[in-house]
Chains A and B, each alone.
Chain A
């Protein structure tokens, strides 16, 4: 019978989350999403499936969207992570969040944090996305409430507002 692997190494990690530096100790197997939620108390990032399909756990790592359920916290050592909590400033919603609000782009809100960060990333690289490009970008974020069309409108509106600013 194979010897069961014992947890012999916890790791110290240093990372920034929403601009704040953290120095924590974690088991290597701790998923990034659990680290953010349980160790750092940032419960805005949600868990929907834990097998990388639903996108509810989407965060930005060094500016790139990733599924936090498919990343180990130790892999974020040295990285800058952005979660939904990093979008609003001092209680003032980010323009993307405002656009979601205006366009009724959320109902239960569970997919919303992941959706916002995916949209945020899209608008960094595509300032004037067409509806198809938006749909393509959010196709990896499941929503069971909205049917997506208001999310598309919201992202378009946010892009237009940013364009005018």
Chain B
């Protein structure tokens, strides 16, 4: 399985990259880590006329903390995210989710920007960024714009990015003190895409849950926020009853599909199971770290 022919450009700046995208529009594909794009090209399921390799844009590889926000350049490799002191301390949920992506060799190349732009609904990063209420910066011919992650995903493998835009930065609010978070997933084998995955971030206030954010992957055309489950848990205690109620809310809210790995029924069921386990674990972690 070899890729079809394409014209190859490897710009050194965002402006040059955008210039190429503007010139070729829908005929061009951005090559970041390549861990999602290359398989599709090798299988000839995707046949871009032009490949814009952004790996030489060194200005896009950074992890910076400013004003309560962690900013990651789009070319931040997933393994760099896993191993980053700043991410592990400031947004532990992101580091934890990134460690679930594939295997080390994939994380060495895969980038956070590429992962988000690919918009695979089974992918872990989009789900946790949804829970973290992150934003992305998209740079196009008319300049940069900020898109809330909540508005980024349109459908399976479909994002709000224009074909002439390059995702250049990911912004995540730093997790406040007193929070607990966890990412859990169920998959057939280690490193596989999640059959269902859940990221939970909550802040604990004594025995009450001050607020909670829950997002899921693998159970819909996009990652989904579980707002009804959040509503049940917020300003409540985390008890067996509230957990079960939250689980039922999640089961009702998700929109999974059948495939050869698992049925929609199974995914729905497991999303509920994950709710109980993830919220409980996030709660315990908050207890350990909180006041």
Chain B residues with CB below 8 A from A69, complex form: 38, 42
Q: Does any Cβ of B come within 8 Å of A37's Cβ?
A: no
Q: Does any Cβ of B come within 8 Å of A98's Cβ?
A: no
Q: Does any Cβ of A come within 8 Å of B109's Cβ?
A: yes
Chain A residues with CB below 8 A from B49, complex form: 2-3, 5
Smallest CB-CB separation from A138: which chain B residue?
B103
Contact A137 B6 (CB under 8 A): no
Q: Does any Cβ of B come within 8 Å of A140's Cβ?
A: yes
Q: Does any Cβ of A come within 8 Å of B55's Cβ?
A: yes
Smallest CB-CB separation from B189: which chain A residue?
A139
Q: Does any Cβ of A come within 8 Å of B291's Cβ?
A: no
Contact B108 A66 (CB under 8 A): yes
Contact B2 A140 (CB under 8 A): no
Chain B residues with CB below 8 A from A66, complex form: 105, 108-109
Smallest CB-CB separation from A51: which chain B residue?
B39
How many A-B contacts if CB must be within 8 Å? Answer: 97
Q: How far is the CA of A9 from the CA of B254 in the complex (A)?
A: 47
Chain A residues with CB below 8 A from B106, complex form: 52, 67, 140
Contacts A2-B49, A139-B190 given: A70-B7 contact, CB under 8 Å? no
Q: Which one of A27, A72, A139 contacts B5 once the chains associate, using CB atoms below 8 Å?
A: A27
Chain A residues with CB below 8 A from B10, complex form: 74
Q: How far is the CA of A29 from the CA of B190 in the complex (A)?
A: 30
Contact B42 A50 (CB under 8 A): yes
Contact B6 A70 (CB under 8 A): no
Q: Which one of A28, A51, A67, A118 contacts B43 once the chains associate, using CB atoms below 8 Å?
A: A51
Contacts A9-B8, A28-B8, A64-B108 given: A70-B3 contact, CB under 8 Å? no
Q: Does any Cβ of A come within 8 Å of B51's Cβ?
A: yes
Q: Which 7 A-B pairs have the closest CB atoms?
A: A140-B103, A28-B8, A5-B49, A51-B39, A70-B38, A65-B105, A64-B108
Using a CB–CB cutoff of 8 Å, the interface residues on chain B facing chain A are: 1-8, 10, 27, 31, 34-35, 38-39, 42-43, 49-51, 53, 55, 79, 102-106, 108-109, 189-191
Q: Can you give 24 A-B contacts (C-beta < 8 A)?
A: A2-B27, A5-B4, A5-B6, A5-B27, A5-B49, A7-B7, A8-B7, A9-B7, A11-B8, A28-B8, A28-B51, A51-B39, A52-B39, A65-B108, A70-B34, A70-B35, A70-B39, A72-B8, A72-B53, A74-B10, A75-B53, A118-B105, A140-B104, A140-B191
